[in-house]
Amino acid sequence: MGGMLARRAGFSLLSLLLVSACLFLLTRAIPDSPGRIVLGQDATEDQVAQFERDHGLDRSVGVQYARWVSGIVLHGDLGRSFITGRSVGDEIAKTLPVTFELVVVAFVFACVFSLAAGTASALLRDTVVDYGVRLVAVLGVSVPGFWLALILIMAFAVDREWFPPGGFTPLSAGFLAHLDSIVLPTFCLGIFYMAVLSRMTRSSLLDVLGQDYMRTARATGLARWRVLIYALRNALVPVVTIAGMSFGYMFGWALIIEAVFNINGLSRALLTAIQQRDFALVQGVVMVFTFVFILANLAADIANAWLNPRIAMAAA
């Protein structure tokens, strides 16, 4: 198992390196110099040249990339913003916690509900419960989160003032106010993956429960709930893989949800950076997202190897 984990981790690192090189090349491949774009058409050639010297843009792309990567690895330094000159790391550190909280809460919501709903739906197959769960699952995958957000804002924030229509109340302003401000965003963010995961849990659990060894387990007199525990352990293997990917993907959708609810998270930072064409910041934010995504996939692999030792054996 150790060998398999080391290999997977090594490969994740390699992917990150390859993908970051790709991103770096693309940001440097645009015909206009970033200096020209940031300073505008009125800037003189000297000013642009000075800007490029200041940000190390006069070096070759390879040297720039090597410096960027070594800065991240050695000093945890993601570079400086082209516009404000502030550290990209600090900018991200300011806004990431908000996004991270939204995603974690939505993820936990999606996992807990999908596990419960999927299991209930498989055990009570072809009953009202099953039909209900399946209907919610179909709706959940079909309704885009940001549209749901608009509709829920109209229904529960404007027509009935149950929740604030947007904004993010920090925890320091009171727990309840904080909770109120994240209910709608996390629901809109989590519902899609709740639907996906509950569908998967249901079908995977039905597959496992139909296996011969499950009948044997029952025949040996094992209690129903013990059998269910064993069945779930096997059934969750594919679900965990998708859950790990979902966690990474959720950061992407969080961008859109934050934009709808006017939440000052990483999304605001990224979209502002895009508007100002602050490539250093865009590059930093995208790298953080990609890192989280790869890490989440790796975590899912580890969880899978733990749930099903055969996977680890096969890969080793």
Partner 1 sequence: MMARVISACGGTGGFIGACLMFLLIVDALAAPWVAPFDPLKVDMLNALSPPDAAHLFGTDQNGRDVLSRVIWGGRASLEVSALAVLIGGCGGVGLGLLAGFFSGGWLEQSLMRVLDAMASIPLLIWAIALVGILGVGSVHIAGFTFGNEVKLLALLGVLYIPTLARITYTTALGEAGANYVAARRLQGVSGLRIMLSDVLPNCLSPVIVQATLLLAIGIVIEASVSFVGLGVQPPWPSWGNMLADARNYLFSGEWWLSVFPGACISLSVVAINLLGDGLRDALDPRHSTSALTA
- DSSP assignment of 53-67 equals HHTTTTS-HHHHHHH
The C-alpha atoms of residue 272 and residue 295 are separated, in whole angstroms, by: 26
Nearer to partner 1, 68 or 293 (CB): 293
The C-alpha atoms of residue 169 and residue 264 are separated, in whole angstroms, by: 10
* Cross-strand bridge partners of residue 87: 80
| One residue of 14, 223, 313, 314 binding partner 1 per CB under 8 A | 14
Q: Which two tokens stand for residue 220?
A: 């040996």
For 220, list phi and psi in degrees, rounded to 5: -75, 0
| One residue of 1, 124, 141, 311 binding partner 1 per CB under 8 A | 141
Nearer to partner 1, 100 or 222 (CB): 100
Q: At residue 207, what is the residue type?
A: D
The C-alpha atoms of residue 314 and residue 305 are separated, in whole angstroms, by: 10
- Select the span of 61-69, 79-87, 193-201, 304-312 touching partner 1 (CB under 8 A): 193-201
- Select the span of 18-26, 110-118, 128-136, 307-315 touching partner 1 (CB under 8 A): 18-26
- Select the span of 63-71, 174-182, 221-229, 280-288 touching partner 1 (CB under 8 A): 280-288
* CA 61, 62, 63, 64 torsion-angle sign: positive
Expressed in angstroms, the distance from the first to the final Cα of the chain is 7
- Select the span of 41-49, 119-127, 140-148, 301-309 touching partner 1 (CB under 8 A): 140-148
For 18, list phi and psi in degrees, rounded to 5: -65, -45
| One residue of 199, 231, 236, 312 binding partner 1 per CB under 8 A | 199
Nearer to partner 1, 142 or 220 (CB): 142
Residues that bind partner 1 (CB under 8 A): 11-12, 14-16, 18-19, 23, 26-27, 30, 138, 141-144, 146-147, 150-151, 153-154, 158, 165, 193, 196, 199-200, 203, 207, 238, 242, 245-246, 248-249, 251-253, 255-256, 259-260, 270-271, 273-274, 277, 279, 282, 285-286, 289-290, 293-294, 297
